[in-house]
Protein backbone atom coordinates (compact mmCIF):
# COMPACT_ATOMS: atom_id res chain seq x y z
CA UNK A 1 0.00 0.00 0.00
CA UNK A 2 1.22 3.51 -0.83
CA UNK A 3 0.06 6.49 1.24
CA UNK A 4 0.47 10.23 0.72
CA UNK A 5 0.75 12.20 3.97
CA UNK A 6 0.24 15.94 4.25
CA UNK A 7 -0.91 18.44 6.87
CA UNK A 8 -1.33 22.15 7.56
CA UNK A 9 1.01 22.47 10.57
CA UNK A 10 4.13 22.14 8.42
CA UNK A 11 6.56 19.45 7.37
CA UNK A 12 8.36 19.41 10.73
CA UNK A 13 5.23 19.22 12.90
CA UNK A 14 5.26 16.53 15.62
CA UNK A 15 1.85 15.23 14.57
CA UNK A 16 3.05 14.52 11.05
CA UNK A 17 6.17 12.84 12.41
CA UNK A 18 4.11 10.57 14.68
CA UNK A 19 1.78 9.63 11.84
CA UNK A 20 4.67 8.93 9.46
CA UNK A 21 6.41 6.69 11.98
CA UNK A 22 3.27 4.62 12.47
CA UNK A 23 2.18 4.44 8.83
CA UNK A 24 5.63 3.58 7.51
CA UNK A 25 5.52 0.33 9.47
CA UNK A 26 2.72 -0.94 7.26
CA UNK A 27 2.95 0.95 3.95
CA UNK A 28 5.13 2.87 1.55
CA UNK A 29 4.70 6.48 2.65
CA UNK A 30 5.57 9.75 0.96
CA UNK A 31 5.28 13.10 2.73
CA UNK A 32 4.47 16.33 0.89
CA UNK A 33 3.59 19.10 3.34
CA UNK A 34 3.80 22.89 3.67
CA UNK A 35 7.19 24.35 4.54
CA UNK A 36 5.62 26.20 7.49
CA UNK A 37 2.39 26.39 9.47
CA UNK A 38 -0.53 27.07 7.12
CA UNK A 39 -3.42 26.50 9.53
CA UNK A 40 -6.69 28.05 8.40
CA UNK A 41 -5.72 28.00 4.73
CA UNK A 42 -8.87 26.06 3.84
CA UNK A 43 -9.04 24.91 0.20
CA UNK A 44 -6.97 27.74 -1.26
CA UNK A 45 -4.69 27.11 -4.23
CA UNK A 46 -1.71 29.29 -5.11
CA UNK A 47 -2.33 30.72 -8.58
CA UNK A 48 -0.44 34.02 -8.69
CA UNK A 49 3.11 32.72 -8.33
CA UNK A 50 4.99 29.44 -8.88
CA UNK A 51 5.43 26.86 -6.15
CA UNK A 52 8.82 25.69 -4.95
CA UNK A 53 9.47 22.11 -3.90
CA UNK A 54 12.13 21.27 -1.32
CA UNK A 55 13.51 17.83 -0.50
CA UNK A 56 14.71 16.98 3.01
CA UNK A 57 17.30 14.55 4.30
CA UNK A 58 14.62 12.21 5.63
CA UNK A 59 13.09 11.91 2.17
CA UNK A 60 10.15 14.20 2.88
CA UNK A 61 9.13 17.04 0.58
CA UNK A 62 7.90 20.50 1.50
CA UNK A 63 6.18 23.14 -0.60
CA UNK A 64 6.02 26.91 -0.09
CA UNK A 65 2.27 26.79 -0.50
CA UNK A 66 -0.97 25.68 1.07
CA UNK A 67 -2.00 22.17 2.11
CA UNK A 68 -4.16 21.96 -1.02
CA UNK A 69 -1.15 22.98 -3.12
CA UNK A 70 0.88 20.16 -1.56
CA UNK A 71 -1.61 17.42 -2.37
CA UNK A 72 -2.36 18.85 -5.81
CA UNK A 73 1.34 19.04 -6.70
CA UNK A 74 1.99 15.54 -5.38
CA UNK A 75 -0.86 13.89 -7.29
CA UNK A 76 -0.67 15.82 -10.55
CA UNK A 77 3.06 16.07 -11.15
CA UNK A 78 5.46 14.93 -8.44
CA UNK A 79 4.65 11.28 -7.80
CA UNK A 80 5.36 8.82 -10.59
CA UNK A 81 3.14 6.21 -8.97
CA UNK A 82 -0.20 7.34 -7.58
CA UNK A 83 -0.84 6.44 -3.93
CA UNK A 84 -3.91 4.53 -2.83
CA UNK A 85 -4.83 6.88 0.02
CA UNK A 86 -4.33 10.45 1.24
CA UNK A 87 -4.06 11.12 4.98
CA UNK A 88 -3.83 14.64 6.36
CA UNK A 89 -2.64 15.27 9.91
CA UNK A 90 -2.15 14.74 12.72
CA UNK A 91 -3.35 18.28 13.36
CA UNK A 92 -2.41 19.90 16.68
CA UNK A 93 -5.92 20.91 17.68
CA UNK A 94 -9.51 20.02 16.96
CA UNK A 95 -11.18 20.20 13.58
CA UNK A 96 -14.79 19.79 14.63
CA UNK A 97 -18.05 21.48 13.66
CA UNK A 98 -17.59 24.66 11.59
CA UNK A 99 -13.79 24.23 11.77
CA UNK A 100 -13.93 22.00 8.70
CA UNK A 101 -14.74 25.03 6.52
CA UNK A 102 -11.48 26.76 7.48
CA UNK A 103 -9.23 23.80 8.17
CA UNK A 104 -6.17 23.24 6.01
CA UNK A 105 -6.03 19.71 7.43
CA UNK A 106 -9.47 18.88 6.07
CA UNK A 107 -8.71 20.75 2.85
CA UNK A 108 -5.67 18.59 2.11
CA UNK A 109 -7.81 15.47 2.50
CA UNK A 110 -10.53 17.04 0.36
CA UNK A 111 -8.07 17.73 -2.46
CA UNK A 112 -7.10 14.08 -2.43
CA UNK A 113 -10.78 13.19 -2.68
CA UNK A 114 -11.31 15.66 -5.53
CA UNK A 115 -8.47 13.96 -7.39
CA UNK A 116 -10.11 10.58 -7.01
CA UNK A 117 -8.49 9.04 -3.93
CA UNK A 118 -9.96 7.99 -0.59
CA UNK A 119 -8.95 10.47 2.08
CA UNK A 120 -8.77 10.91 5.84
CA UNK A 121 -8.24 14.01 7.98
CA UNK A 122 -7.12 13.40 11.55
CA UNK A 123 -6.75 15.84 14.45
CA UNK A 124 -5.73 15.61 18.09
CA UNK A 125 -8.09 17.56 20.34
CA UNK A 126 -5.51 19.27 22.53
CA UNK A 127 -6.28 21.49 25.51
CA UNK A 128 -4.72 24.87 26.25
CA UNK A 129 -2.58 24.53 23.11
CA UNK A 130 -0.72 21.58 24.64
CA UNK A 131 -0.68 18.32 22.71
CA UNK A 132 0.68 15.20 24.36
CA UNK A 133 -0.65 12.02 22.75
CA UNK A 134 -0.11 12.12 19.00
CA UNK A 135 0.59 8.40 19.19
CA UNK A 136 -3.05 7.78 20.18
CA UNK A 137 -4.22 9.54 17.03
CA UNK A 138 -1.77 7.52 14.93
CA UNK A 139 -3.11 4.27 16.39
CA UNK A 140 -6.65 5.44 15.66
CA UNK A 141 -5.73 5.99 12.00
CA UNK A 142 -4.17 2.55 11.86
CA UNK A 143 -7.37 0.93 13.10
CA UNK A 144 -9.48 2.92 10.64
CA UNK A 145 -7.21 1.73 7.81
CA UNK A 146 -7.90 -1.87 8.81
CA UNK A 147 -11.61 -1.20 8.35
CA UNK A 148 -11.14 0.67 5.07
CA UNK A 149 -9.28 -2.24 3.53
CA UNK A 150 -12.37 -4.37 4.12
CA UNK A 151 -14.94 -1.66 3.38
CA UNK A 152 -13.60 1.17 1.16
CA UNK A 153 -15.03 4.66 1.31
CA UNK A 154 -17.76 5.71 -1.07
CA UNK A 155 -16.73 8.24 -3.70
CA UNK A 156 -16.75 11.89 -2.54
CA UNK A 157 -16.64 10.89 1.14
CA UNK A 158 -13.91 12.02 3.52
CA UNK A 159 -13.49 10.76 7.06
CA UNK A 160 -12.85 13.55 9.55
CA UNK A 161 -11.36 12.00 12.68
CA UNK A 162 -10.89 13.84 15.98
CA UNK A 163 -9.06 12.06 18.79
CA UNK A 164 -9.08 13.07 22.47
CA UNK A 165 -5.63 13.96 23.77
CA UNK A 166 -5.47 10.92 26.06
CA UNK A 167 -3.28 7.84 26.38
CA UNK A 168 -4.60 5.11 24.11
CA UNK A 169 -5.76 2.90 26.99
CA UNK A 170 -7.92 5.74 28.33
CA UNK A 171 -9.83 6.29 25.08
CA UNK A 172 -13.27 4.68 25.15
CA UNK A 173 -13.44 3.73 21.47
CA UNK A 174 -14.89 5.09 18.23
CA UNK A 175 -18.14 6.95 17.66
CA UNK A 176 -19.68 7.84 14.30
CA UNK A 177 -20.76 11.47 14.62
CA UNK A 178 -22.20 14.43 12.80
CA UNK A 179 -20.67 17.89 12.76
CA UNK A 180 -21.66 20.06 15.68
CA UNK A 181 -22.03 23.81 15.41
CA UNK A 182 -20.19 26.66 17.06
CA UNK A 183 -21.42 30.00 18.28
CA UNK A 184 -20.10 32.87 16.19
CA UNK A 185 -16.44 33.60 16.79
CA UNK A 186 -15.18 36.15 19.26
CA UNK A 187 -14.63 39.72 17.93
CA UNK A 188 -11.31 40.63 16.37
CA UNK A 189 -8.72 41.99 18.79
CA UNK A 190 -7.47 45.45 17.88
CA UNK A 191 -3.90 46.33 18.87
CA UNK A 192 -1.01 48.54 17.81
CA UNK A 193 2.32 47.26 16.59
CA UNK A 194 5.62 48.73 17.89
CA UNK A 195 5.44 51.44 15.21
CA UNK A 196 2.00 52.53 16.34
CA UNK A 197 0.12 51.05 13.37
CA UNK A 198 -3.25 49.46 14.04
CA UNK A 199 -3.31 45.67 13.63
CA UNK A 200 -6.02 43.09 14.16
CA UNK A 201 -5.97 39.52 15.41
CA UNK A 202 -8.81 37.21 14.41
CA UNK A 203 -10.83 36.36 17.50
CA UNK A 204 -11.05 32.94 19.08
CA UNK A 205 -13.43 30.35 17.66
CA UNK A 206 -16.87 30.26 19.25
CA UNK A 207 -17.81 27.69 21.87
CA UNK A 208 -20.15 24.81 21.06
CA UNK A 209 -23.69 25.88 20.26
CA UNK A 210 -24.77 22.41 19.16
CA UNK A 211 -22.71 19.93 21.15
CA UNK A 212 -25.37 17.43 22.07
CA UNK A 213 -24.98 13.66 21.98
CA UNK A 214 -24.28 12.48 18.45
CA UNK A 215 -22.00 15.40 17.59
CA UNK A 216 -18.24 15.41 17.23
CA UNK A 217 -18.08 17.88 20.15
CA UNK A 218 -19.87 15.46 22.46
CA UNK A 219 -17.82 12.42 21.46
CA UNK A 220 -14.37 13.87 22.09
CA UNK A 221 -15.51 15.62 25.27
CA UNK A 222 -16.54 12.23 26.66
CA UNK A 223 -13.39 10.37 25.67
CA UNK A 224 -14.48 8.90 22.33
CA UNK A 225 -12.79 9.15 18.95
CA UNK A 226 -15.11 11.05 16.64
CA UNK A 227 -15.40 9.79 13.05
CA UNK A 228 -17.50 12.07 10.86
CA UNK A 229 -18.15 11.25 7.20
CA UNK A 230 -18.02 14.47 5.17
CA UNK A 231 -19.62 14.76 1.75
CA UNK A 232 -18.00 17.07 -0.78
CA UNK A 233 -21.29 17.91 -2.53
CA UNK A 234 -22.42 21.14 -0.82
CA UNK A 235 -25.71 21.30 -2.72
CA UNK A 236 -28.74 21.75 -0.48
CA UNK A 237 -30.82 19.19 -2.34
CA UNK A 238 -33.99 19.77 -0.31
CA UNK A 239 -34.24 23.30 -1.74
CA UNK A 240 -33.93 22.47 -5.44
CA UNK A 241 -37.66 22.10 -6.20
CA UNK A 242 -38.60 25.15 -4.16
CA UNK A 243 -35.84 27.23 -5.74
CA UNK A 244 -37.09 26.32 -9.21
CA UNK A 245 -40.58 27.57 -8.34
CA UNK A 246 -39.13 30.68 -6.69
CA UNK A 247 -37.06 31.61 -9.75
CA UNK A 248 -40.07 31.14 -12.02
CA UNK A 249 -42.18 33.31 -9.75
CA UNK A 250 -44.84 30.65 -9.25
CA UNK A 251 -44.44 30.43 -5.50
CA UNK A 252 -42.85 33.26 -3.54
CA UNK A 253 -43.03 31.18 -0.36
CA UNK A 254 -41.40 28.06 -1.84
CA UNK A 255 -38.03 28.74 -0.21
CA UNK A 256 -39.50 29.24 3.22
CA UNK A 257 -41.56 26.08 3.59
Give the Å distances, CA to CA, from 48 to 59, 102, 249.
28, 21, 42
Domain boundary assignment for the chain: 2-180+210-256
Choose between 253 and 126: higher pLDDT: 126
Q: Which residues contact 197 (CB under 8 A, 6 or more apart)?
A: none
Q: Are 132 and 92 in contact (CB under 8 A)?
A: no
- Give the N- to C-terminal CA distance of the chain in Å, as an integer: 49
The predicted structure's pLDDT at residue 210: 67
Q: Using one digit for the tens of pLDDT, what is the confidence trace for 175-204?
A: 999 998 877 878 889 999 999 999 988 877
Q: Report the top-level CATH class of 2-180+210-256.
A: alpha beta
Q: What is the pLDDT of residues 40-79, one digit of tens each?
A: 898 899 999 999 999 998 989 999 999 999 999 999 999 9
Let me know: does 22 contact 141? Beta carbons within 8 Å: yes
Interval 203-244: pLDDT, tens: 778 776 667 899 999 999 999 999 999 988 888 888 888 888
Please give the Cα distance from 76 to 45 (Å, whole number): 14
On the question of pLDDT at 256 being above 60, the answer is no
- Degrees, nearest 5: CA angle 130-205-110: 85
Q: What is the pTM of this model?
A: 0.89
Per-residue model confidence (pLDDT) at position 183:
76
Instruction: Spell out a b/e string for 85-100, using b for 16 or more CB atoms within 10 Å of the CB, else e.
Output: bbbbbbbbbbbbbbbb
Amino acid sequence: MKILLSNDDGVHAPGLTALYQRMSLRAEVVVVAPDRNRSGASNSLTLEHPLHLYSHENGHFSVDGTPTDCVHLALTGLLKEEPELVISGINAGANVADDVLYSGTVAAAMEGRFLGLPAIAVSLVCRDNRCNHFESAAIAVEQVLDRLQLHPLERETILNINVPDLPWDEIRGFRVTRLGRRHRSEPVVKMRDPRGKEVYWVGAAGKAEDGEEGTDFYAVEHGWISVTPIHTDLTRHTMLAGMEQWLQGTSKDALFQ
